[in-house]
């Protein structure tokens, strides 16, 4: 990706993390296209905010969103399910296909700790949640990440643990891409913090081709 990012396309824009990304992007002066299933859930109004109504199961609506020619794409898509599902990875595959069609190369996703090679990381509670509650969700997020690795796109995946709703981004965040660092972590991070890192990664071209684990330090 060359040149300054001016236009961002956000999938999952009405979720609590996606909304943080949209709000912070607008505060940074970016133009935002929000991809939403239900526009009534996006009550935010701004002259630089545009909405595309659609579903990641519908290739035509994804095509409409990418036809706006964003400089980068963010996916904050996520849904809890107790049974094996592939909607996230399949939806991401459709996004990737449309990105290639319109020549959009940069994508940053919000994944979860426990996806890919981070499975089993965290404290006792986090490991229990991964194993017994989010197992199928994390399987699909792992497939999503592998699809991006194989896509040829410039991708980044952020893997937060438990998400909190603190309104102010935290400064004491620890990032790692392999084994957890030998320091105390609380295995939580705020959605506002995740949004800040997502936007920094796009605007400053950080963490390219990386799955980045994150947690607030003690």
Q: Where are the domains of the chain?
A: 7-216
What is the predicted pLDDT for the residue at 16? Answer: 95
Contact 159, 176 (CB under 8 A): no
Tens-digit pLDDT profile for residues 108-117: 999 999 999 9
Distance between CA atoms of 124 and 187, rounded to whole angstroms? Answer: 10
Of 206, 205, 189, give the one whose Cα is nearest residue 20: 189
Q: Which fold has domain 7-216?
A: Rossmann fold (3.40.50)
Helix (H, G, I), strand (E, B) or coil at 91: helix
Instruction: State if pTM tops 0.85.
Output: yes
Q: What is the arithmetic mean of pLDDT over 154-177?
A: 95
Q: How confident is the model at residue 172 (pLDDT cuts 50, 70, 90)?
A: very high
- In Å, what is the CA distance from 123 to each residue of 20, 126, 175, 185? 26, 5, 16, 9
What is the predicted pLDDT for the residue at 79? Answer: 82
Q: What is the arithmetic mean of pLDDT over 9-22?
A: 97
User: CA torsion 109→20→63→86, rounded to 10°?
Assistant: 50
Partnered with residue 147 across adjacent β-strands are none
């Amino acid at each position: 990706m060359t040149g300054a990012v001016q236009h961002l396309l956000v999938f999952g824009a009405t979720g609590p993390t996606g909304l943080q990304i949209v709000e912070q992007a607008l505060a940074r002066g970016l133009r935002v296209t929000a991809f939403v299933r239900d526009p009534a859930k996006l009550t935010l109004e701004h002259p630089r905010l545009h909405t595309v109504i659609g579903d990641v199961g519908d290739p035509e609506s994804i095509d409409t969103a990418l036809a706006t020619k964003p400089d980068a794409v963010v996916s904050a898509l996520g849904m809890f399910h107790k049974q094996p599902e592939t909607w996230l990875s399949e939806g991401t595959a459709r996004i990737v296909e449309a990105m290639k069609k319109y020549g959009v190369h940069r994508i940053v996703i919000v994944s979860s700790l426990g996806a890919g090679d981070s499975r089993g990381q965290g404290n006792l509670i986090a490991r229990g949640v991964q194993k017994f509650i989010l197992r199928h969700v994390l399987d699909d997020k792992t497939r999503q990440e592998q699809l991006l690795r194989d896509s040829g796109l410039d991708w980044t995946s952020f893997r937060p643990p438990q998400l909190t709703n603190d309104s102010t981004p935290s400064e004491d965040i620890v990032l790692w891409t392999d084994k957890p660092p030998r320091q105390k972590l609380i295995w939580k991070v705020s959605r506002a913090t995740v949004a800040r890192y997502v936007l920094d990664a796009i605007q400053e071209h950080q963490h390219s081709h990386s799955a980045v684990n994150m947690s607030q330090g003690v």
